[in-house]
Amino acid sequence: MKKNRRIRIINVVGARPNFMKIAPLMAEYKKHPEIEAIIVHTGQHYGRAMSQLFFDELEIPRPEINLGVRSGSHGVQTAEIMKRFEPVVLKYKPDLVLVVGDVNSTIACALVAAKIGIKVAHVEAGLRSFDREMPEEINRVLTDAISDYLFVTEPSGLVNLKKEGIPNGKVFFVGNVMIDTLKQNVKKADQSTILYKLRVKEKEYTLVTLHRPTNVDDPIVLKRFLDVFKKISYRLPVIFPAHPRTLKNIKTFNFESKMATQPRVSDVPSNVGLQLIKPLGYLDFLRLMASAKVVLTDSGGIQEETTILKVPCLTLRENTERPITVEVGTNILVGTHPDDILKSFDKLMENYNVRSITPDLWDGSAAERIVRILLNSLL
């Protein structure tokens, strides 16, 4: 390569969790004029609350290309992303395609690049739930198998990739870009007025998120969760920013009447039991999460963020691909059975002893390490 040659990197985003992971990388690229960074948004998540607001709040440059794929089954969505992404790669001829996380956009764009012969970098590599019923698990395993640079967030990732036969020279333990974004924005989130709007006080409410298909697509399963949240709300008010998929199913299954309230935010009385609200932007949600007494979730990223924020997290799943959050953090795997969830919640309320150790390299500098490695390798 010529010494003065610029490195062209296509950075793929598609779904809400991707935006928090790409933000610190885009900021780090700006420090290096030898890098030409291009953002491709697949459009897997769209709309203001699920996409546009994150670019504004996290100061991410507007995507040069939006593939506009939107919703669809896993097969249809993955195929459509591949079909639309291939001409982009052929036109721009990047030195590297960088993908993050485990959504359909991740595996689809990694496959296109690998088949064309373009190097692939996977940020958040090596995470495993060992549950092949999770579509995300398939995406993780396949993306790692075809990547040239595997950037790992926690020690379990190193172990998993070694067992899968990935050469050590491809694997780099760099820390967690999600935590880079959290650390850079937590003070800004303190200025959010979301607690005032929802009429709740710090450490006097439960925050709930629920979006995984296994938890929200079956009406029997979803109703069980809603009943649990309602019971919890009798003890501690519950704020439930509902993912569009979850909100759609609540309406489809006619469960709205079973919720404690369906108010507009301005109509919510103080100390209301359960507030079902629309998705929030990053800063409002970060403020809600940091100020909650406890978080109930099936999200992987929230398990990590609550570990750093030292907020107890009850994970509504039978497994986690982020075991470090259980080992050193505030995360407790409680499963999906209502009795187990309620027992764990009651036990936590009776003995509210919050302890958390910051995992290695979750120090806010993961993006810097990633970019340094790419520069050293590609130049």
- Answer yes or no: 122 catalytic: no
Residues of the chain with CATH 3.40.50.2000: 7-176+362-378, 187-350
Q: Is 194 exposed, middle or buried (0-12, 13-18, 19+ CB in 10 A)?
A: buried
Least confident of 4-13, 23-32, 252-261, 326-335: 252-261
Q: Which of 32, 41, 211, 337 is catalytic?
A: 211
Rank 45-59, 236-250, 289-303 by mean pLDDT and report only the highest.
Answer: 289-303
Decide which of 3.30.479.10, 3.40.50.2000, 3.90.226.10, 3.40.50.2300 is the CATH code for 7-176+362-378.
Answer: 3.40.50.2000
Q: How many other β-carbons are positioned within 10 Å of the β-carbon of residue 375? A: 13
Task: Decide if 173 contacts 365 (C-beta within 8 A).
Answer: no
Per-residue tokens: 214: 């296994």
Checking if the pLDDT of 271 tops 60, the result is no
CA 268/CA 291 separation, integer angstroms: 19
CA 220/CA 182 separation, integer angstroms: 35
Task: Decide if 205 contacts 229 (C-beta within 8 A).
Answer: no
CA 248/CA 269 separation, integer angstroms: 25
Question: Averaged over 88-110, what is the pLDDT?
Answer: 97
Using one digit for the tens of pLDDT, what is the confidence trace for 9-59?
Answer: 999 999 888 999 999 999 999 999 999 999 999 987 555 555 688 888 999
Could you tell me the pTM of the whole model?
A: 0.92
The alpha carbon dihedral of 316, 322, 326, 331 has a sign of: negative
Q: So what's the pLDDT on residue 48?
A: 58
Beta bridge partners of 97: 10, 120
Checking if the pLDDT of 3 tops 60, the result is no
Per-residue tokens: 88: 């982009």
Arch. (CATH architecture) of 187-350: 3-Layer(aba) Sandwich (3.40)
Q: Using alpha carbons only, give the angle 174, 122, 357 rounded to the nearest 5 degrees.
A: 35
Q: Which residues of 72-83 are buried (b: 16+ CB within 10 A; e: fewer)?
A: eeeeebbebbbe
Supply the mean pLDDT for the chain. Answer: 92
Provide the terminal-to-terminal Cα distance of the chain, rounded to the nearest Å.
Answer: 7
DSSP tag of 57: H
Query: Cα-flanking dihedrals φ and ψ of residue 10, to 5°?
Result: -90, 125
Per-residue tokens: 89: 């790669």
